[in-house]
Copies of this chain bind each other. A is one copy, B any other.
Amino acid sequence: MVVTIVGIGLIGGSMAISLQENGFAKKVIGVDASSEHEKKAIRRYLIDEAMSLKKAVQQSDVIIVATPVDVMLKVLPEVLDLITDKQVVLDVGSTKERLLEALKEHPNRKRLVATHPMAGTEYSGPEAAIPNLFTGKYTVIVDKEDSAADAVQIAEQLYQSIEMKIAYLDAKAHDEHTAYVSHISHISSFALALTVLEKEKNDSKIFELASSGFGSTVRLAKSSPDMWVPIFRQNRDNVMTILDEYISTLSQFRTMLIKKDYDSFYKKIEEANQIRKIIS
């Protein structure tokens, strides 16, 4: 198949690598707002060539839109305007409710399969693209019944070809789930980085001693605001709910410290340890 990838960053670029390696794509065309990104993507052999959106869509079987989610609101209607009913469009965005609401009246809506491969790193841009980013992880297909059966089948084949497991959710459940298992982690990490960076202004040696545990909890704080602000904006209500719960849990720890209630502190940590059963 000929595959166009719109947005050749971490996700789009990694997908380009995997789909070429496994033969799903006989050709990968890249479309990016930045010509610098397009050049880098060609130099790194992520894509075969770069061209305008219109030209690229005309010669593609599958179009994958992998831009930040705010850009998707603009690009996806354009892509759907350009396609025939033989072509399939996939978006890979981290939020779904707002996007699918905006597209629901589009005459070609059924050619779009809304998906979310749950994989990533804290890096961005074509230089962040890596092989095997998706292997063994879950992808979500959202509101499957709003897409044509043949389009869903091609999306499933594509994700199976890069060895992803597939889950099915509606848009509302998807956005709530991802707020819990992805979006809140990022806010937690941004805030931790800011707290310690503030201290560093007066104490430049503090990071020498940073433990690997600290590195692990602030890793996500390297993530790009261009990707994340649109996600928090589109998933604001869910993120706010969980941020409230998170702050409330931290405040409980604070109260226990104030009261020197170390027995309750111990029990809370034991409860938190239950995460062992879930995260290997």
Contacts and interface: CB of A to CB of B under 8 A. Distances in A.
B249 A191 contact: yes
Interface in A157-202: 167, 177-178, 180-182, 184-200
B221 A138 contact: no
A200 B138 CA distance: 18
Interface string A237-280: 00110111111011101100110101001101111111110111
B250 A191 contact: yes
A232 B256 CA distance: 11
A209 B118 contact: yes
A118 B214 CA distance: 11
A109 interface: no
Contact of A197 (B194, B210, B221, B271): B271
Interface residues of A, number: 89
Interface stretch (A5-13, A14-22, A80-88, A222-230): A222-230
A117 to B, nearest CB: 10
A59 to B, nearest CB: 34
Nearest to A244: B254
Contact of A194 (B228, B239, B271, B276): B271
Contact of A192 (B120, B185, B224, B229): B185
A219 interface: yes
Contacts of A118: 209-211
A218 interface: yes
A102 interface: no
A64 B118 CA distance: 45
B222 A191 contact: no
A208 B269 contact: no
Contact of A180 (B190, B196, B236): B196
A200 B121 CA distance: 24
Contacts of A34: none
14 contacts: A119-B212, A138-B208, A177-B209, A180-B195, A181-B210, A181-B211, A191-B249, A195-B242, A197-B274, A213-B220, A224-B269, A229-B266, A240-B258, A243-B253
